[in-house]
Amino acid sequence: MKLNILRYPDPRLHKVAKPVAVFDERLAKLVEDMAETMYDAPGIGLAATQVDVHEQVVIIDVTEDKTGLTAFINPEILWSSEDKQVYDEGCLSVPGIYDGVERPSQVKVRAFNVKGEPFEIDADGLLAVCIQHEMDHLKGKVFVEYLSPLKRNRIKTKLQKEERGIQREEALRASGRRY
């Protein structure tokens, strides 16, 4: 089932996610629904926070052919490199906005899969960036918070105007009036 993605500046994007305690069918279904939502968007990563579920669940697939889906449950960065890199990041919760964010170029992460089995992964490049970006969501942080206050306010204003336009169109459509 496709889920609704929260849009910045929705305050629910700033909630801190709680660790997953039970690895069951509900969790497997959440991961499945998140994957459908992410691929449909289309995106390469999605945190549960973005679909208004405040649990430590992240899914990522940076492959071109969509064959590398990985679920990171209760992820934890064990190590990050001192060398940094700047990537132009985008976000499904901040549609149409891309900007450079500096992050460690390599990370080592420990997490659990949907069955509750632990695993570790060493990541660099796009995968390292994506892991850090999605884990930020679990802490209630959106990538635009790395940008200057001026850029952040412009983005917020632009997205709020777009949201009002969408709501206006939906209201007109629901009323049956022509527009």
Backbone phi, psi, residue 134, to 5° = -70, -35
> d(Cα 170, Cα 177) in Å, to the nearest integer?
11
> d(Cα 49, Cα 177) in Å, to the nearest integer?
36
Q: Is 14 annotated as a binding residue?
A: no
* Contact predicate 127/166, CB 8 Å: no
Closest CA to 70 of 45, 36, 107, 43: 45
> d(Cα 155, Cα 144) in Å, to the nearest integer?
8
Quick one: DSSP state of residue 7? -
**At 36, which amino acid appears?**
E
Q: Which residues carry out catalysis?
A: 134
Q: Is 91 annotated as a binding residue?
A: yes
Instruction: Report residue 123 CA to chain centroid gap.
Output: 17
Instruction: Report residue 55 CA to chain centroid gap.
Output: 12
Q: Is 133 annotated as a binding residue?
A: yes
Binding residues: 91, 133, 137
Binding residues for Fe cation: 91, 133, 137
